[in-house]
Structure 1
Amino acid sequence: MANQKINHNERYMLRGALKKNGFDRWRLVTNGVNVVSGEELAFFIEFYVVNPAVSPEECVLGFKNRAAISEDDLHAALTGASGAADGSSEPLVKPSFAMVKAGVLRENGKQMNVYYPASQIQVGHTDLLFKVGTDESNYCSLTTTSTYGTVNVSKMDLVEHPEILGQSGKMSWNLRYSKQIGFTPDYKGKKLNWSVSGAKTVFEGKIILDGEEYEVTSPRSNGYFDKSWGKELTSSFFHLSSSRLTSIINGKVLPDSCFVVQGVYNDSLSVLVSLNGKNIEFNAKKPKRYELTYDLFEMPSDGEEESKFHWSVSASDKTYVVDVDCYCNTKTMFLRKYECPEGNRKVLCIAGSGSGTGELRLYRKIKKNLELIEHVRIANMLCEYGDIELPVV
């Protein structure tokens, strides 16, 4: 079980230079079951802060329309005079905001993004990790053991403010959680840091999405909790994780097990595996200590099967080899967008699904031979990839 002592890196990290040039992001993922239909969905809740000291009293979004037209240019345009400035020219700005992003990973999934000025952020030194909002009707909170909140975006909000980069809808949640398995040390880089203290996290409570209630229970939550912060988002994103594992060797469910693969950090990935209480870790901070190969490609439809994405990862050191192969139907991948802290209209686009399946094999090296220690079937896998999208010049 993960150490219940609070990891300092779980707390708000935007101090010093990061207040004007940085981001902080908490991410929670859990499954919930529709109380009427029995449908199981993967939900995500994220708290994202960008450059809070740049504009603490007002949200600044880089995609908001700010046509650079002076009064003289406007007069010239109205009178038909030549030499008027091109109204399509817009200044690039550095974003500054707090955002709560919540939604569901599925075919035709959705993300609702609600923005707050940084002055509304509250952080604590006890169990409060993050809170934003001014009253009970619009605040969202995250503590060391619970999260509560509501995001509500109307169709008119999107028409009037397309820069919020999401869909319309309403989601509210009231959840308790307990982190069962974590990995240390955290990844620390010059521009980006990552902490995965809740690679296996159990959630309990209720989620309401567009009026439909979903029950979240510990045995089926398949929960995940991580945090990243720093100067810049990763330019290429790669993620796999699940705690719903079953041994193919003996057919037994592995309740005290999970795995996470994440990057790309300096052309490497962290590959973290916990099977029956034993951790095998390949940390991207020390890439010279292990060999790594990974790939991602789309398998087109052959007429009988739908198109799929295929992730493959192999990591090995002097003692162990970990091989991961997983698949996800292309149609279940849902696109999320994150405005980058450096501005310039750069956006990290991440396609993700919570319904990946696959297999994991763990081997021990014995001289020149490999001994199979465990062969695992993976279900309800969180599968994600992404890249930075640059503005069209």
Structure 2
Amino acid sequence: MASSKKYNRFDAYLLKGKFRRSGFENWRYVFTGISKATGEQKTFFIELYYVNPQISPGEAVIAQKTRPKISDSELQYALAGTLAAKEAVEDEKFVPSYVLLKAGFLGENSRLFNCFYPAEKLSFVKSEQSFKLENCFFGKDFLSGKVEVTAEELLKKPELLCSAGSMKWNLHFEKTVESGTLFKSSRNVWIPLGAKTVFAGIVELNGTEYTVVPRSSSGYVSKGWGERPCENFFHISSSNLTSMISGKSLGKSCFCVEGEFEKKLTGFIQIEDRRMILSGKGLFNKYTEIHSCSQMPVDADGEKLHWCVSFHKKKLVIDIDIYCKTSRMLVRNYELPEGGRTLLEICGGGTGFGEIKVFKKVKNNLELLEHASVMDALCDFGSVDGTEGQV
């Protein structure tokens, strides 16, 4: 593809400069697989969260780690009346530093597996143009690896904040619809590198094999980095669109929307040959948007969340409505680079459904250009939560 070389530099990016002491980087891969035994479909995800690597490159420091019982030396501090001061200093210095591998699936009985490694374990293999983390490889067109968390580990380390189980994968992928940087500032960068990505391969979840088939993989790949993740996080994306006008599958279509960046969402929408970029770059690319994520009244289908976005740019209006059952959603946690025992808590699903409408303004009227149903939508909503040292 002509655009692949253009964005290759982002595949090899790793935190630089000041962000190595106070910053994060997040790689995200999402796709669907089908059980060989039952035909059941699951939405899988693999993520890499790299935070403050220069602070403790040789040891994984988890700021959320449960505080141990008071030691003899701390007892002396307490007797001297200075324990509170000592704790304040320790908490100020106690910031995360590690590379975190997240993997799991979204849907009924969602599961998340977390493995923490020292930052120095993540290395670039120049001959293969890929990153290596223990037995995991992240290439520009392939992924392979394994994550396993035992019940015994969780008992000893509740700070892992995940489930017990294992997941193994061997995948190849192609970014069929690519995007450049949608948001860039001195504090944050977000790039949905593979807004529509085709995956193929095998995933083994707790001993059960799932086949990832290109035509139904509904893949998505993105990368972001900066000082800290968005304090109020909003994301929706999908590449499984069907025209409600023609009834045909829109094979070259997809969208992804994310923020809040400076209290605003950015977006990339492609409807067949029409590409719409909502990044606010340049004087002539200004747009307005309104968005919300709200809980719907409980009905026969159970409890659902509703993501609603409306973009207005020059003569275009884009409306997106996505719904997801809360029973099929999972909470993921990310420590902030500054520490302070706070988490970005994101509630996410991979089985969202809804619609997207694209209109053209014609004088005082709106002309409908496309109205498509949306399936297999990735949908996230979250915010920063102070945990006060609790796990």
2:164 to 153, 162, 168: 168
Given that 2:167 and 2:204 are in contact with CA atoms closer than 8 Å, whether structure 1 keeps it comes out as yes
Structure 2 equivalent of residue 315 of structure 1? 311
Structure 2 equivalent of residue 294 of structure 1? 291
Structure 1 equivalent of residue 37 of structure 2? 36
The number of residues matched between the two structures is 384
With over 3 angstroms needed to count, the CA separation of the structure-2 counterparts of 1:174 and 1:72, relative to structure 1, is closer
- Return the alpha-carbon distance in structure 1 between the equivalents of residues 80 and 16 of structure 2: 49
- Return the alpha-carbon distance in structure 2 between the equivalents of residues 158 and 391 of structure 1: 19
With over 3 angstroms needed to count, the CA separation of the structure-2 counterparts of 1:271 and 1:174, relative to structure 1, is same
Task: State the Cα distance separating 1:141 from its structure 2 match.
Answer: 1.1
Offset from partner CA, 1:207-238 (integer Å, 9 cap, x none): 00001100001001000000001111110111
Offset from partner CA, 1:254-308 (integer Å, 9 cap, x none): 1111011111111111121101122011115569811211111101214x34121
Mean alpha-carbon deviation: is it higher for 115-124 or for 349-358? 115-124
Structure 2 equivalent of residue 254 of structure 1? 250
Secondary structure class of the residue paired with 1:250: coil
With over 3 angstroms needed to count, the CA separation of the structure-2 counterparts of 1:72 and 1:116, relative to structure 1, is closer
- Return the alpha-carbon distance in structure 1 between the equivalents of residues 157 and 388 of structure 2: 20
Secondary structure class of the residue paired with 2:361: strand
Structure 2 equivalent of residue 158 of structure 1? 154
1:361 to 357, 360, 364: 357
Structure 2 equivalent of residue 181 of structure 1? 177
Task: State the Cα distance separating 1:2 from its structure 2 match.
Answer: 6.8
- Supply the AA of the counterpart residue of 2:230: T
- Return the alpha-carbon distance in structure 2 between the equivalents of residues 188 and 76 of structure 1: 46
Structure 2 equivalent of residue 136 of structure 1? none
Structure 1 equivalent of residue 372 of structure 2? 376
- Return the alpha-carbon distance in structure 2 between the equivalents of residues 384 and 285 of structure 1: 25
- Supply the AA of the counterpart residue of 2:188: L
Mean alpha-carbon deviation: is it higher for 10-19 or for 49-58? 10-19
Task: State the Cα distance separating 1:203 from its structure 2 match.
Answer: 0.3
Mean alpha-carbon deviation: is it higher for 106-115 or for 248-257? 106-115
- Supply the AA of the counterpart residue of 2:3: N
- Return the alpha-carbon distance in structure 2 between the equivalents of residues 68 and 156 of structure 1: 20
Given that 1:95 and 1:341 are in contact with CA atoms closer than 8 Å, whether structure 2 keeps it comes out as yes
1:279 to 254, 271, 275: 275
- Supply the AA of the counterpart residue of 1:149: G
- Supply the AA of the counterpart residue of 1:249: I
Given that 2:341 and 2:388 are in contact with CA atoms closer than 8 Å, whether structure 1 keeps it comes out as no
Identity %: 38
Given that 1:94 and 1:342 are in contact with CA atoms closer than 8 Å, whether structure 2 keeps it comes out as yes
Offset from partner CA, 1:337-383 (integer Å, 9 cap, x none): 11111111111111111111101001111222211111000011111
Task: State the Cα distance separating 1:84 from its structure 2 match.
Answer: 9.6
1:339 to 317, 335, 338: 335
With over 3 angstroms needed to count, the CA separation of the structure-2 counterparts of 1:386 and 1:72, relative to structure 1, is closer
With over 3 angstroms needed to count, the CA separation of the structure-2 counterparts of 1:8 and 1:377, relative to structure 1, is same
Task: State the Cα distance separating 1:101 from its structure 2 match.
Answer: 0.5
Task: State the Cα distance separating 1:8 from its structure 2 match.
Answer: 2.0
Secondary structure class of the residue paired with 1:232: coil
- Supply the AA of the counterpart residue of 1:4: S
Task: State the Cα distance separating 1:108 from its structure 2 match.
Answer: 2.4
- Supply the AA of the counterpart residue of 1:42: T
Offset from partner CA, 1:318-353 (integer Å, 9 cap, x none): 121101111111211111111111111111111111
Is it true that 1:325 corresponds to 2:321 in the alignment?
yes
Give the alignment's TM-score, normalised by structure 2.
Answer: 0.92
- Return the alpha-carbon distance in structure 2 between the equivalents of residues 199 and 363 of structure 1: 22
Task: State the Cα distance separating 1:124 from its structure 2 match.
Answer: 4.5
Q: Counterparts in 2 of 1:54-69, with a 5 A limit? A: 54-67=55-68, 69=70
Secondary structure class of the residue paired with 1:8: helix
Given that 2:42 and 2:107 are in contact with CA atoms closer than 8 Å, whether structure 1 keeps it comes out as yes
Given that 2:179 and 2:193 are in contact with CA atoms closer than 8 Å, whether structure 1 keeps it comes out as yes
With over 3 angstroms needed to count, the CA separation of the structure-2 counterparts of 1:65 and 1:363, relative to structure 1, is same
- Return the alpha-carbon distance in structure 2 between the equivalents of residues 362 and 178 of structure 1: 27
Secondary structure class of the residue paired with 1:123: strand
- Return the alpha-carbon distance in structure 2 between the equivalents of residues 25 and 271 of structure 1: 18
With over 3 angstroms needed to count, the CA separation of the structure-2 counterparts of 1:20 and 1:276, relative to structure 1, is same
Structure 2 equivalent of residue 192 of structure 1? 188
Task: State the Cα distance separating 1:173 from its structure 2 match.
Answer: 0.2
